[in-house]
Amino acid sequence: MKLKPLFGLVGVILLAVFLIIINLPEASLDFTFSENIGMWQTLVGSKFALEKDSVKFTKGNQQLQIVIPEMNIEADYYDVCVIEGVWPISFDQGSLLFLSPFNKQFDYKFRYIFETGQADRQNQCYIDLTTHGAWQSIVKALLIIPAADAKEVSLKRLKLVRANPWTKLKARWSSFIRYYDPLLGTCFSMASPVFMGKSFNGLVVPMLWGLLIICGLIIIVGQLIKINQRVIKFVAGLILFVVIITFGLLDLRNNIFYLKAISRNISLYWGKPIAERRGIVVGDPEFIDFMQFCDDNIPLETRLFNQVPVDIPGIPANYLSAVQYCANLRPRFYDNRSWGEEDSYYIFYKPREQGSWKISQEQSVVSDYLELKPTEKMQQEIILWRSSKYLSEVVVWLDEGISNPENIELLLLGSDRKTIAGRAKYLKRTGKQAIFLFSPNKNFKKGKKVFLQLKNLGQVPIKIGTVYGDQYKEGSLILHDEKKYSDLSFRLIYQPKDLKLFKRFSQEAFILLDEETQ
């Protein structure tokens, strides 16, 4: 039998099927921004201007957001959304949020993320609406955050489509090859790409295991009862083919991702000074400018105290505080390491509480919980950043559940681990944080080594948050007269009276000088 005509026939049939699929009818709901002025709103501060057939939105002080309040979409009917517009930065990240029967307000949990395509050209961003479980019944309103980095965007239309298979495929392919900037945690683990709303590995790996088991069984059975070698070769070849196709698909996606990354890097970073690039990549340009301000103004050979909080909204925990702080300053003495006679400066950035100069001394990362049995006590060695008379609050982390902070006796002891410098009384609990009010009865000067003692006065064990010690450790944690590998997670809050404003960068960013060392 001649195979070539057969292949030709199969090819023609496939082409015909393909042409039919892409031409299947589909219904859509078009929302054109330029023709529906008044039907959408932006946040105060954002500007917009009508262009030829689109609307150009310009970001103000806040994030650029466009709300379409009265949509009332029959969500079950539409399965793809297409957003059309022009973005100035390649492969930016946009979000589409929706009000479903499950949420009364816009919430990031109810959103789709889309990629904006190449810069400065009319792009169509496809979103597969079926990937979110809450997209059902009546969706009342939509909120578009058109870009994460771009300051201006031209939007033409938003289209909701009851899609034919071809459009669905385009939407699914878009989510499979969607570009996203590497996140801080990417160095730990890079997630599998998403295909049809599910992890690609989750779909493919079990299938491959199944195929391999079948292959293995055939080989074993083939050894026992002599199966024709051609059968074994055919099965092995088939499995190899599946592996190559799967691997090829994944690698194609990766290569597209790399091309996009190159395009985005050129579009976002090239041609800018390094300080500006640093601001973009860190996600808070103001912080980078402030660090430069600190570096320029604070003399060298001085001691710096980091008062940048670890929980700045929008920034991953401790990123600015622990990672980008020292990395943006020339070397000085930091925190409590090797105390000397240097002048001390306190660097504040977006402080938790406005209008007060509270100094926070903390190692607040919690990596585990240590059990403190009834009548047991643990002692954490600490070097005081300020005199203990200024100490106002002590915070420790407790495991939620049975741990009752009222059963904790909290004392500040001298270096002999006997002299009591003060005791803290339980005030309140915020999540896992237990806050104690401190009352001093003896003053220890700053730089003095002291011990924070926690004793369980209750009848049940208490689980207390600890951090695995490394270079950030303040001192040793002692339990049963034995030094532990981990350290107590704590925060000491001082309200010192001997600090003065040294330089102010902005309302939320300033430097204090310790007058005691002057």
Partner 1 sequence: MIILRLFFSLFIAWLLGYLIVYLFDPQKKIPWFEGAALSFLLGQGVLTLLLFLLLFLPVANRSIVLTGLILVFFGAKLFFDKNKVWVKSSFQFNKKGLSLFLVLLLFVSLTLKVSYSFIETCSKPEYSWDASANWTEAGRNYFHADKFSNKGVIGEMKKSVTSYPRALSLMHYWIFSWLGEDNDQWSKIIFPLDLLCLLIIFYYALKPSRGGLGALAFTYLLCSAPLFLYHSTIGYADLTKTVYFSVGIIYFYRWLQTKQKNYFWFFGLCLALTTWVKLEGKMLFAIGFALLLSYLWLGYRASLRAKLFYVGQYISLFLIIGLPWQLFSLFNHLPDPQTKLSLSLSLFFEFHQKMYDLMFMEGSWGLFWVIFVAGLLFFFKRQLTGENRYLFLATILFYGNLLFIYLFFPSAVAEMMATFNRVLLPFYPVAVFNLGVILPVFESKSGVKI
User: What are the tokens at 114?
Assistant: 């889309």
The secondary structure of 60-117 as a DSSP string is: -SS---EEE----EETTT--EEEEEEE-SSTT-EEEEEE--TT-SS--TTSEEEEE--
Residues in the chain: 518
CB of 220 to partner 1, least distance (A): 11
Contacts of 454 (CB under 8 A, 6+ apart): 372, 377, 378, 379, 380, 396, 408, 409, 410, 464, 488
Q: Which long-range contacts (CB under 8 A, 24 or more apart) does 412-420 make?
A: 412/388, 412/438, 412/440, 412/444, 412/450, 412/451, 412/452, 412/453, 413/379, 413/450, 413/451, 413/452, 413/453, 414/442, 414/444, 414/450, 414/451, 415/448, 415/449, 415/450, 415/451, 417/379, 417/451, 417/453
**In terms of CB distance, is 136 or 265 closer to partner 1?**
265
Report whether 362 contacts 398 (CB < 8 A): no
Q: Work out which of 188, 418, 430, 459 binds partner 1, going by CB under 8 A.
A: 188
CB of 278 to partner 1, least distance (A): 5
**In terms of CB distance, is 79 or 92 closer to partner 1?**
92
CB atoms within 10 A of CB 36: 14
CB of 513 to partner 1, least distance (A): 20
Q: Return the residues of window 206-245 that contact partner 1 according to CB under 8 A.
A: 208-209, 212, 215-216, 219, 243
Q: Work out which of 137, 186, 375, 419 binds partner 1, going by CB under 8 A.
A: 186
Q: Return the residues of window 254-273 that contact partner 1 according to CB under 8 A.
A: 254-255, 257-259, 261-262, 265-266, 268-270
Task: Give the x/- contact pattern for partner 1 in 145-174, rule: CB under 8 A.
Answer: ------------------------------
CB of 269 to partner 1, least distance (A): 4
**In terms of CB distance, is 197 or 374 closer to partner 1?**
197
**In terms of CB distance, is 44 or 220 closer to partner 1?**
220
**In terms of CB distance, is 12 or 191 closer to partner 1?**
191
Stretch that binds partner 1, among 79-87, 131-139, 187-195, 423-431 (CB under 8 A): 187-195
Using only C-alpha atoms, the chain has a radius of gyration, in whole angstroms, of 31
CB of 62 to partner 1, least distance (A): 24
**In terms of CB distance, is 18 or 258 closer to partner 1?**
258
Helices (H), 372-411: none
Amino acid at site 36: N
User: What are the tokens at 95?
Assistant: 């979000």
CA–CA gap between residue 77 and residue 439 (Å, rounded): 65
Q: Return the residues of window 282-301 that contact partner 1 according to CB under 8 A.
A: 282, 300-301
Q: Work out which of 10, 19, 22, 184 binds partner 1, going by CB under 8 A.
A: 184
CA–CA gap between residue 90 and residue 270 (Å, rounded): 12
Task: Give the x/- contact pattern for partner 1 in 479-498, rule: CB under 8 A.
Answer: ----x-xx------------
Q: Work out which of 109, 151, 198, 337 binds partner 1, going by CB under 8 A.
A: 337
**In terms of CB distance, is 272 or 504 closer to partner 1?**
272
Q: Return the residues of window 360-399 that contact partner 1 according to CB under 8 A.
A: 367-368
Give the total of residues touching partner 1 (CB under 8 A).
67
CB atoms within 10 A of CB 93: 19
Q: How far is CA 482 from CA 210, 396, 417, in A?
A: 52, 21, 14
CA–CA gap between residue 364 and residue 513 (Å, rounded): 24
Question: Is residue 183 helix, strand or coil?
Answer: coil
User: What are the tokens at 108?
Assistant: 């990031």
CB of 219 to partner 1, least distance (A): 8
CB of 412 to partner 1, least distance (A): 24
**In terms of CB distance, is 12 or 327 closer to partner 1?**
327
Stretch that binds partner 1, among 113-121, 180-188, 307-315, 438-446 (CB under 8 A): 180-188
CB of 464 to partner 1, least distance (A): 16
CA–CA gap between residue 76 and residue 493 (Å, rounded): 53
Q: Work out which of 471, 481, 507, 518 binds partner 1, going by CB under 8 A.
A: 471
CB of 226 to partner 1, least distance (A): 19
CA–CA gap between residue 257 and residue 17 (Å, rounded): 30
CB of 457 to partner 1, least distance (A): 27
Amino acid at site 404: N
**Phi/psi at 255 (nearest 5 deg)?**
-65, -40
**In terms of CB distance, is 110 or 176 closer to partner 1?**
176
**In terms of CB distance, is 281 or 383 closer to partner 1?**
281
Amino acid at site 381: E
Residues at the site binding partner 1, with contacts judged by CB under 8 A: 182, 184-193, 199, 201-202, 204-205, 208-209, 212, 215-216, 219, 243, 246-247, 250-251, 254-255, 257-259, 261-262, 265-266, 268-270, 274, 277-278, 280-282, 300-301, 319, 322-324, 326-327, 330-331, 337, 367-368, 468-471, 473, 476, 483, 485-486
